[in-house]
Amino acid sequence: MKAIRSPARKPSSQSRQGSHTMPIKHHRRLWLTIGVIAECLLSTSAPAQPLSTQQAKAASYAITEYHILCHRDGGRLWGRSLCGPIMLVDPETRAVYADRDTTGHDLRASGALFIGTLPQGIGMANTAIDWAGTRWTMVLLPLPSDRDRRETLLMHEAFHRIQPDRLPPPVAVLPDHLDTRDGRLLLRLEWRALARALRTQGEPQRAAIRDALAFRALRRSLAIEATGRENALEINEGIAEYTGKRLGAGKDAVASTIGTLTDYDRRDGYVRSFAYASGPAYGLLLDRLSPGWRNGLRPDSDLGVLLHHAIGDGALPAVEAVRDRYGFADIRSEETAKAEAHARQAAHWRAALIDGPVIRLPLIDMQIEFSPQNVFTLPPSGTVYPTATIRDAWGTLTVEQGVLIAQDWKSASIAGPGSAHGNDYAGAGWSLKLSPGWIVSNDSVRRR
């Protein structure tokens, strides 16, 4: 799951194409929760221990891993250390397991850990967060049991902690063209070519790179502002995931990245998540072909352009001449069926969240937690988050069957009507707990 905070105001019409439903410049708290219980720290023959004891052991183990990895890097990857304050948080209980104390939050020492409770109102995420006067890496429990996935996650979030200073992520609108048939088709072809490039060397590698860049260029030519929208997420999440693979998966980074490309090739919902596959692939290829590439990386860099330069630029092949190497016919058939299903889903969301009775909530200083895997764009109205938790001045909204965030990030809509139980409201697939001084009136949430 990912978390972001909404923009303080609507972007001007002059800047809206380069500004955003998710202004990443201000929203580095974006996370992907992958996971099952942390690596087995207790043998099967050991007596059962309380969950809190298991969590403390898992947290201590992970924090040790984190410090080993960042000290091993020694600041070489990004010119500064990734080491810094880290906390692990149980999203069910808000229990905090930190590697250092804070001021004014009653953390208690327990071995090498400092344990306490995260205050209400602080978003929980795999993220970077400013809390108690300190910038932290925050990671949610339970952690992935697989070591490479766990260590990749730790280093991914460690990069987000230094990202505002090292590589501030740009502002951009979500790349909703990745919800279209041709957008998805060309993205999958690009990924398959990148996987081939990672498996090969020499001229076969360069040929596969040229193929990938041809698919990329055609896709980006089909939608307005596609290049800026995709680049923004590749710089934000793609570079963080590259960092995670380089330092977490280590010598297995290439195999891990090929596995991720293969996994994402079978997934739905690329609009918010595609950069987790693309970013590491471009980064690792640039490591091979242009080792100093990170030194010149800027918020407005294009990883595809950098890789094209690394192979001497030159003409790219015609897509029609190379697409069959990567299973074009099968992908087209699959994506045609998915496009039909997508149209049916869009009709469902429009009926539930636009055309039917709805309750609107103002977005003032909103934080939203969501899964980047199932974000559904509904232009021009906004973006649907099928599952989400939203916190704002008016309280907390928990959604299991869809909330529509308006394109300007000024309001959210849920399916009406709802029923009241004191300050709590509930409706079809959602529950709302209002803060004092707020009411639901005339199908909207407002101050009393």
The end-to-end CA distance of the chain, in Å, is: 33
What pLDDT does residue 220 have? Answer: 98
Contact 133, 124 (CB under 8 A): no
Kindly give the pairing relationship between strand 418-421 and strand 424-427.
antiparallel
pLDDT in tens, 368-427: 888 878 889 888 899 999 999 999 999 999 999 999 999 888 999 999 999 998 889 999
For the chain of 448 residues, list the mean pLDDT of each consecutive stretch of 10.
Answer: 48 27 30 27 33 84 97 97 97 94 88 92 88 94 94 98 93 90 98 98 98 98 96 97 97 97 94 96 98 96 98 97 98 95 93 95 90 86 93 94 92 94 91 94 92
Q: Where are the domains of the chain?
A: 29-166, 176-338, 339-447
What pLDDT does residue 377 have? Answer: 87
Query: DSSP letters along 193-230, please?
Result: HHHHHHH--HHHHHHHHHHHHHHHHHHHHTSTTHHHHH
What pLDDT does residue 3 have? Answer: 57
Amino acid at 162: I
What pLDDT does residue 370 have? Answer: 85
Count of positions (residues) in the chain: 448
Nearest Cα to Cα of residue 241 among 198, 190, 279, 296: 279
What pLDDT does residue 5 have? Answer: 52
204-223: burial string, b at 16+ Cβ within 10 Å, e else: ebbbbbbbbbbbbbbbbeeb
Kindly state the helix (H) or strand (E) to which residue 430 belongs, with its residue range. strand 430-434
Nearest Cα to Cα of residue 78 among 293, 234, 302, 260: 293
What pLDDT does residue 226 have? Answer: 97
